[in-house]
């Protein structure tokens, strides 16, 4: 039975249910007796359910014409009289010229027949003499050749089917959603069966006992049914077959065509697909459909795996939000479309790492999750919220949806961590998506620049990215790399500025100040490079170096007998935040056999950003060692008075800006207030930037205890300092 795709197999068509029209048999012979026998034996003959169509040619030229015209020839009966010197021209034309590989060739020859080598080369099925081609024998010969032809065609069709099934697998795996996958199953099945794309895919809860289910995807005349319950659909052949496939868990073929394939069970859901197709009769056809189904089941399973992989690659399970990779992909897709009115905001939890260090990682994890929940509640549907860094969240949406100020306010009420309210603040950097296409990563970078700037200068607030920030960020990056080189090449050194008791003029201390001289002799001001070092975290090792060197100088001066009471070292917030800071200080003192009271640490009001508990415990521990603490540049920061009262401090340093004002009329107020404040709190007060005797006197008069400034001495390198100490110029 010629059920499968006999030649010509349509490209891409795999299983064809249509039966072959007829068997085309060509007789090429110069002998009329052979033609007569063929007519008698083959004309009107029906073999395997299809009629034999006899074609005849009496010369090679005629035969070539027929061959060109009739491509799906099943058998060629070829008379070759000249054997053993057969002219293989026509056979070569058929096999090589026309590439008819499946057509069976039966030679009619009265001689011994060609050599085996030739038979194999041209795939000759049989050799017969005229006597052997009497009608009855001829029928048997042709029937055998047709069988062989059908098998070759079937094998070829199966090979193509499998190829198509493999291809369909690739196409199916590429689908990113279940819906798309379901739609693609219909498309691929229709392609495999070579039928129009007309069908539907259903799934139903495996525990359901009724014939229920839901249409997940539909195509062709079923297209409108997607999303509907199977039960709600009018009873049609398609619905019945689908229901049967789902209930029986197997493929169902309709009597009048149509097939419902059962696609297996996953995650408690049975799935089946129906396509409109003519009835498949052959076992091979059905077997191939089974292969298709098995492949689909595997794919469904693999898709599940893929989804889970995708999930873990693009999802942050800790906070239950998409992760950075996902965020950047979405920003990219959005930005490449040139989205209008879109904003990308990055929100960072202020001092998260300090909280994490002090309160422990478990606390940190819960705090993160709590903030993530707050943010998720604060954004309207449609906004993409993701975790893009350890304590940084990203939001992408329209300018109406994502309002940075509103997001900052979502933590105005303390967040609950293990039922305990915890006060957090967020800082935001944002960028408006340009109307021209741009890469997502670049936009995230821009927003990060704005965020870092906001962290530095506008904590707890929001900052929009501006072009020049990018340039500044690049400058800073350049300066940072130069600074690293300078450190490696030992171009950094310390200078020391003396501090005196303003009343007795006694030398009380030295402040160590960092200097950077470039290769060409330029001095880079610390106000420029210290912030860069702070920003990058480089200040931690750099500060350690400063501390060690200042301690070494102090030890040297003690040994020389010219040391003042204390050595003051500036300390940045990043250093204090470092959990190892206290130990670093202790080790530096021990390394140079110094006592705690030999060292003063100058902190600034920006330490207010540290969690109070961390700050208080660190400062108390330092003071317990005898180390004194001064608050530097007082009045320029934003600390509150309550802060001053609470922190364990020894000294206030009046910023040189206020000291300078002393020379102006009415300029004394702030310096005076700070002095009084310090005295009231029982703190020592030191004035910076004393540049003349009058300022000195004014400070003495207002009760300021100590001072430093060019009027006393400039910051000096070690050698100059030792000279100065031997003969300190009195004011």
Which residue matches tokens 């590429």? 174
- The distance of Cα 177 from the centroid of its chain, to the nearest Å, equals 18
In this chain, which stretch among 82-90, 340-348, 350-358, 686-694 interacts with ligand C2E, using CB under 6 A?
686-694
Q: Is residue 348 within the footprint of Mg ion (CB under 5 A)?
A: no
Site for ligand C2E in 552-581 (CB under 6 A): 570-572
Dist CA 428 CA 80 (whole Å): 91
**What are the CA-CA distances from residue 284 to residues 3, 23, 288, 644 (Å)?**
9, 20, 6, 89
Dist CA 671 CA 26 (whole Å): 117
In this chain, which stretch among 90-98, 213-221, 381-389, 706-714 interacts with ligand C2E, using CB under 6 A?
706-714
Q: Is residue 706 within the footprint of ligand C2E (CB under 6 A)?
A: no
269 dihedral zone (left: phi>0; alpha: psi -120 to 50; beta): beta
In this chain, which stretch among 308-316, 450-458, 485-493, 521-529 interacts with ligand C2E, using CB under 6 A?
521-529
Q: Is residue 575 within the footprint of Mg ion (CB under 5 A)?
A: no
Least Å distance, CB 474 to ligand C2E, is 23
Q: Is residue 708 within the footprint of Mg ion (CB under 5 A)?
A: no
Residue 97 DSSP label = I
CA 49-70-92 angle, to 5 degrees, is 115
Q: Is residue 162 within the footprint of ligand C2E (CB under 6 A)?
A: no
Cβ(510)–Cβ(567) under 8 Å? yes
Least Å distance, CB 606 to Mg ion, is 12
In this chain, which stretch among 96-104, 300-308, 459-467, 703-711 interacts with ligand C2E, using CB under 6 A?
703-711
Least Å distance, CB 632 to ligand C2E, is 5
In this chain, which stretch among 33-41, 260-268, 568-576, 612-620 interacts with Mg ion, using CB under 5 A?
568-576
Dihedral angle, C-alpha 223, 228, 231, 235, nearest 10 °: -20
Q: Helices in 43-132 by DSSP H: which ranges?
A: 60-69, 89-92, 116-121
Helix/strand/coil percent split, the chain, to 5: 50, 20, 30
Q: Of the candidates 168, 536, 570, 628, which one interacts with Mg ion according to CB under 5 A? A: 570
Token readout for 505 is 């003029």
Kindly provide the b/e burial profile for residues 187-196, where b requires at least 16 CB atoms within 10 angstroms of the residue's own CB.
Answer: bbbbbbbbbe
State the binding partner of 141 from ligand C2E, Mg ion, none, CB within 5 to 8 A by kind. none
Dist CA 624 CA 339 (whole Å): 59
State the binding partner of 514 from ligand C2E, Mg ion, none, CB within 5 to 8 A by kind. ligand C2E
Q: Residue 451 or residue 530: which is nearer to ligand C2E going by CB? A: 530
Q: Is residue 270 within the footprint of ligand C2E (CB under 6 A)?
A: no
Q: Of the candidates 11, 419, 525, 682, which one interacts with ligand C2E according to CB under 6 A? A: 525
Sign of CA dihedral 370, 372, 375, 379: negative
Q: Of the candidates 168, 715, 716, 721, which one interacts with ligand C2E according to CB under 6 A? A: 715
Secondary structure of residue 11 in the 3-state scheme: coil
State the binding partner of 197 from ligand C2E, Mg ion, none, CB within 5 to 8 A by kind. none
Q: Is residue 602 within the footprint of Mg ion (CB under 5 A)?
A: yes
State the binding partner of 606 from Mg ion, ligand C2E, none, CB within 5 to 8 A by kind. none
Q: Of the candidates 72, 534, 600, 632, which one interacts with Mg ion according to CB under 5 A? A: 632
- Burial label, 396 (beta-carbon count in 10 A; 0-12, 13-18, 19+): buried
State the binding partner of 709 from ligand C2E, Mg ion, none, CB within 5 to 8 A by kind. ligand C2E
Cβ(372)–Cβ(387) under 8 Å? yes
Residue 250 DSSP label = S
State the binding partner of 11 from Mg ion, ligand C2E, none, CB within 5 to 8 A by kind. none
Cβ(213)–Cβ(230) under 8 Å? yes
Token readout for 629 is 């603490």
Q: Of the candidates 324, 656, 679, 718, which one interacts with ligand C2E according to CB under 6 A? A: 656
DSSP string for 314-348: HEETTTTEE-HHHHHHHHHHHHHTT-SSEEEEEEE
Q: Residue 448 or residue 544: which is nearer to ligand C2E going by CB? A: 544
- The distance of Cα 174 from the centroid of its chain, to the nearest Å, equals 17
Cβ(451)–Cβ(346) under 8 Å? yes
Dist CA 369 CA 346 (whole Å): 16
Phi, then psi, of 529 in degrees rounded to 5: -90, -25
In this chain, which stretch among 132-140, 250-258, 479-487, 689-697 interacts with ligand C2E, using CB under 6 A?
689-697
| β-strand partners of 386 | 394
Total number of residues that touch ligand C2E (CB under 6 A): 24
State the binding partner of 525 from ligand C2E, Mg ion, none, CB within 5 to 8 A by kind. ligand C2E
Q: Of the candidates 194, 350, 688, 706, which one interacts with ligand C2E according to CB under 6 A? A: 688
Q: Residue 277 or residue 546: which is nearer to ligand C2E going by CB? A: 546
Q: Is residue 2 within the footprint of ligand C2E (CB under 6 A)?
A: no
Q: Residue 75 or residue 671: which is nearer to ligand C2E going by CB? A: 671
Binding string to ligand C2E for residues 71 to 100, with x set by CB under 6 A, is what? ------------------------------
In this chain, which stretch among 20-28, 169-177, 484-492, 707-715 interacts with ligand C2E, using CB under 6 A?
707-715
Q: Is residue 600 within the footprint of ligand C2E (CB under 6 A)?
A: no
Least Å distance, CB 456 to Mg ion, is 18
State the binding partner of 572 from ligand C2E, Mg ion, none, CB within 5 to 8 A by kind. ligand C2E
Q: Is residue 604 within the footprint of Mg ion (CB under 5 A)?
A: no
Q: Of the candidates 146, 385, 514, 647, which one interacts with ligand C2E according to CB under 6 A? A: 514
Q: Is residue 638 within the footprint of ligand C2E (CB under 6 A)?
A: no
Q: Of the candidates 632, 634, 662, 705, which one interacts with ligand C2E according to CB under 6 A? A: 632
Cβ(377)–Cβ(371) under 8 Å? no
**What are the CA-CA distances from residue 93 to residues 85, 308, 613 (Å)?**
17, 56, 94
Which residues of the shown chain bind ligand C2E in the complex (CB under 6 A)?
Answer: 497, 513-514, 525-527, 530, 543, 546, 570-572, 602, 632-633, 656, 688-691, 708-710, 715
Binding-site ranges for Mg ion (CB under 5 A): 570, 602, 632-633, 688
């Amino acid at each position: 039975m010629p059920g499968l795709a006999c030649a010509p197999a349509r490209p891409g068509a795999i299983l064809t249910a249509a039966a072959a029209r007829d068997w085309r048999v060509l007789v090429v012979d110069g002998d009329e007796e052979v033609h007569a026998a063929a007519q008698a034996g083959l004309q009107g003959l029906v073999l395997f359910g299809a009629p034999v169509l006899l074609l005849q040619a009496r010369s090679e030229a005629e035969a070539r014409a027929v061959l060109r015209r009739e491509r799906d020839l099943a058998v060629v009966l070829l008379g070759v009289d000249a054997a053993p010197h057969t002219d293989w021209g026509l056979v070569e034309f058929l096999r090589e010229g026309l590439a008819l590989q499946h057509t069976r060739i039966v030679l009619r020859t009265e001689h011994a027949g060609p050599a085996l080598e030739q038979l194999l080369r041209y795939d000759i099925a049989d050799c017969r003499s005229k006597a052997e081609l009497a009608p009855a024998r001829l029928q048997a010969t042709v029937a055998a050749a047709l069988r062989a032809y059908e098998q070759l065609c079937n094998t070829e069709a199966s090979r193509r089917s499998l190829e198509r099934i493999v291809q369909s697998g690739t196409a199916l795996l590429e689908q990113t959603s279940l819906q798309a996958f379901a739609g693609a199953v219909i498309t691929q099945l229709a392609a495999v069966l070579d039928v129009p794309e007309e069908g539907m895919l259903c799934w139903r809860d495996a525990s359901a006992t009724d014939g229920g289910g839901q249409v997940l995807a539909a195509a062709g005349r079923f297209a409108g049914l997607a999303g509907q319950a199977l039960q709600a659909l009018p009873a049609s052949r398609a619905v019945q077959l689908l229901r049967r496939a789902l209930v029986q868990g197997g493929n169902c073929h309709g009597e009048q065509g149509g097939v419902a394939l059962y696609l297996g069970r996953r995650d408690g859901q049975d799935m089946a697909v129906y396509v409109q197709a003519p009835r498949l009769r052959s076992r091979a056809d059905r077997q191939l459909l089974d292969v298709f189904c098995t492949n689909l089941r595997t794919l469904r399973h693999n898709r599940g795996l893929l989804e889970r992989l995708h999930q873990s690659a693009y999802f942050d399970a800790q906070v239950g939000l998409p992760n950075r990779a996902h965020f950047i992909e979405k920003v990219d897709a959005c930005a490449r479309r040139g989205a209008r009115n879109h904003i990308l905001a990055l929100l960072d939890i202020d001092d998260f790492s300090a909280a994490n260090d002090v309160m422990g990682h478990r606390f940190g994890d819960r705090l993160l999750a709590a903030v993530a929940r707050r943010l998720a509640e604060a954004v309207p549907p449609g906004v993409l919220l993701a975790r893009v860094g350890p304590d940084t969240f990203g939001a992408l949406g329209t300018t109406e949806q994502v309002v940075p100020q509103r997001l900052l306010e979502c933590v105005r009420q303390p967040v609950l961590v293990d039922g305990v309210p915890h006060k957090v603040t967020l800082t935001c950097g944002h960028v408006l998506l340009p109307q021209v296409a741009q890469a997502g990563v670049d936009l995230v970078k821009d927003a990060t620049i704005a965020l870092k700037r906001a962290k530095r200068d506008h904590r707890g607030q929001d900052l929009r990215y501006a072009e020049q920030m990018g340039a500044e960020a690049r400058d800073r990056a350049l300066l940072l790399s130069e600074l690293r080189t300078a450190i490696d090449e030992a171009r950094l050194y310390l200078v020391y500025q003396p501090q005196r008791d303003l009343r007795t003029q006694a030398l009380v201390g030295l402040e160590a100040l960092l200097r950077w001289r470039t290769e060409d002799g330029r001095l880079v001001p610390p106000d420029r490079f210290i912030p860069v070092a702070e920003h990058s975290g480089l200040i931690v090792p750099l500060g350690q170096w400063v501390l060690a060197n200042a301690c070494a100088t102090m030890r040297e001066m003690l040994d020389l007998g010219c040391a003042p009471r204390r050595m003051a070292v500036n300390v940045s917030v990043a250093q204090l935040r470092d959990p190892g800071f206290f130990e670093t200080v202790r080790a530096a003192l021990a390394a140079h056999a110094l006592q705690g009271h030999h060292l003063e640490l100058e902190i600034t009001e920006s330490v207010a950003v540290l969690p109070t508990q961390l700050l208080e415990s660190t400062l108390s521990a330092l003071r317990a060692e005898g180390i004194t603490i001064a608050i530097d540049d007082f009045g320029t920061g934003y600390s509150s008075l309550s802060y001053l009262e609470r922190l364990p401090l020894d000294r206030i340093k009046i910023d040189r800006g206020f000291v300078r004002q002393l020379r102006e009329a009415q300029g004394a107020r702030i310096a005076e207030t700070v002095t009084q404040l310090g005295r009231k709190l029982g703190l020592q007060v030191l004035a910076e930037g004393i540049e003349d005797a009058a300022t000195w006197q004014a400070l003495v008069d207002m009760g300021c205890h100590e001072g430093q400034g060019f009027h006393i001495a400039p910051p000096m390198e070690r050698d100059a300092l030792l000279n100065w100490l031997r003969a300190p110029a009195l004011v």
